A and B are shown apart, each in its own frame.
Chain A
Amino acid sequence: MPSPAEFAKSTSRANGSELVRFEKVTKRYGDVTVLDELDFSVSTGKHVTLIGPSGSGKTTILRLLMTLVRPDEGTIRVDGDYLTHEERGGRLIKAGEKHVREVRKKIGMVFQQFNLFPNMRVLRNVMEAPVHVLGLPKDEAEQRARELIELVGLTEHLDKYPTQLSGGQQQRVAIARALAMRPQVLLLDEVTSALDPELVQGVLDVLRDIAHSTDITMLVVTHEMSFARDISDAVLMFDKGKIVESGPPDKIFSEPEHQRTRDFLSTVL
């Protein structure tokens, strides 16, 4: 069986380069090792789904990439650049705030709990970062924000505050807000887990649409296995901070090699 890193390489497109690379990344919370010398990479344009029991480290991978937590050991590279490290005189040192901010501009994230800004209406939620982080002119940012809000089907809610929207609508705004920054990598962290069951489909439809019609790279943590199967180029099965098994979705979901994967899938399918 090819190692996960090799697998990701083998699935890369002809011109697909490595966009995200984890090298021997270890993350501990106190005595608990959440990620254990993890190696893996994702090629440009690929959609990779991370599955596994809770506590297996999937979400930590996304949080590391978003720099919401920092690795204890190992390095992460995005598009060739070290994320939380800098090279100085041939040595790797912890990166300064500015470097980190620059590299993470390539990454966008959608959260389980949406995390919209309650003090801003829908349009401003989507425009705020393009204007103040990317420095886009206001009218250009607004134009783009309106297009994205239309894409997620919420044009008639432009002027509402997040509290006036349903969970599903809020999550769609959050997706538009993340895309407004034109990230190269989109991280989706259990984006439908906090939604009422009847609202899940609307959000998944929007994401499916984005996955199939753009070349954005996606890292997805989800419990929606049919969605994962539908959009993924590769699935990584995690347990106890390590990758147990990886492969194309058809193989992982239909004929998993490892007992651990079979056990997990039987609890969620």
Chain B
Amino acid sequence: MMTEGMFTNYFLPGIWITIQVTLYSAALGLVVAFAIGRLRASRLWIVRFLAGCYFEIFRGLSALILMFWLVFALPVMFRWQLVPLWAAVLALGLTYGAYGSEVVRGALAAVPAAQREAGIALGFTRFQRLRRIELPQAWPEMLPPFNNLLIELLKGSALVSTVTVADMTFAGNLVRLGSNESAPIYTLLLVLYFVMAFLLTRGMRLLERRAKANVGQGRLRASLAPREEAGEGHGALTAGGAR
């Protein structure tokens, strides 16, 4: 029988570890995604090539095997031991970041070329155009695919239980060994992952709605302020007088 003590002593800390692993990996993944995603559109072919290599390699690596490698092979090969939690975060962040770079690259490429030209015409530097014009417009487009990746990452974080990181899957396996109650334990795990994924999705939706409103795409706002075609012309006349 699963007791309350099992939940508070094993599952609760496990949930916290799962949240930590997910957030840290997401943060690392986000940095990797933006860096690699932007560099893949670099003017310099060598930078494009290297960033492309990163993408191809880490997309093709199994996060699980990379984790094993970091935890079990790295210490043997280089006499350098990572804390299992950070090895896990590294493996997840680097691989999911590769997927994320594709999202960033695609969203940046989808910003109309005319926006770049307007930026040039106003004298902005490359970096200013990226930061003030291109990224703010691409950001809302990135959020739905990022949400997918984040959910994948949350569920993928269960892999860390295989390298002795005591996340909630690890806790479930531990409790099962002690109690032999497979059915309630795995059902509980399923529900826990689902609830966390659901909450993440809600949060991301909120973020998306806010991001869209910030680029003038808010549905509500647009419908409340209809275009004012009829008023055209008057403004120009008063403009002449205003001089």
Task: Give A residues with C-beta under 8 Å from B.
Answer: 66-68, 97, 101, 104-105, 107-109, 111, 113, 115-119, 121, 128-129, 132-134, 150-154, 160-166, 168-169, 172, 177-178, 181, 196, 198-199, 201-203, 205-206, 209, 213
Task: Give B residues with C-beta under 8 Å from A.
Answer: 114-115, 117-118, 120-126, 128, 132-133, 136-137, 214-217, 221-222, 225, 227-229, 232-240, 242-243
Bound together, the chains give a CA A169 to CA B233 distance in angstroms of 9
The 6 closest A-B pairs by CB, nearest first: A153-B235, A161-B216, A153-B239, A115-B118, A129-B122, A205-B236
The answer to whether A115 and B115 touch across the interface, beta carbons within 8 angstroms, is yes
The answer to whether B243 and A209 touch across the interface, beta carbons within 8 angstroms, is yes
User: Secondary structure of the B side of the interface?
Assistant: helix
How far apart are B229's CB and chain A's nearest CB, in angstroms? 5
Question: Looking across the interface, which residue of chain B has its beta carbon closest to that of A108?
Answer: B121
Question: Looking across the interface, which residue of chain A has its beta carbon closest to that of B118?
Answer: A115
The answer to whether B120 and A111 touch across the interface, beta carbons within 8 angstroms, is no
Within 8 Å by CB of A169, from B221, B225, B235, lies B235
Q: Report which residue of B133, B214, B217, B239 has the largest number of chain A beta carbons within 10 angstroms of its beta carbon.
A: B239
How far apart are B161's CB and chain A's nearest CB, in angstroms? 42
What would 29 A/B residue contacts be, using CB atoms closer than 8 Å? A67-B120, A68-B120, A68-B121, A97-B125, A115-B115, A117-B133, A119-B133, A119-B137, A119-B214, A119-B216, A121-B216, A128-B122, A128-B132, A129-B122, A129-B123, A133-B122, A133-B124, A150-B239, A162-B216, A164-B221, A165-B227, A166-B232, A172-B235, A178-B121, A181-B123, A196-B229, A201-B233, A202-B235, A205-B240
The answer to whether A111 and B117 touch across the interface, beta carbons within 8 angstroms, is yes
Residues in B whose Cβ lies below 8 Å from that of A177: 122
Within 8 Å by CB of B238, from A104, A153, A178, lies A153
Bound together, the chains give a CA A66 to CA B114 distance in angstroms of 13
Within 8 Å by CB of A115, from B114, B233, B235, B243, lies B114
Residues in A whose Cβ lies below 8 Å from that of B225: 160, 164
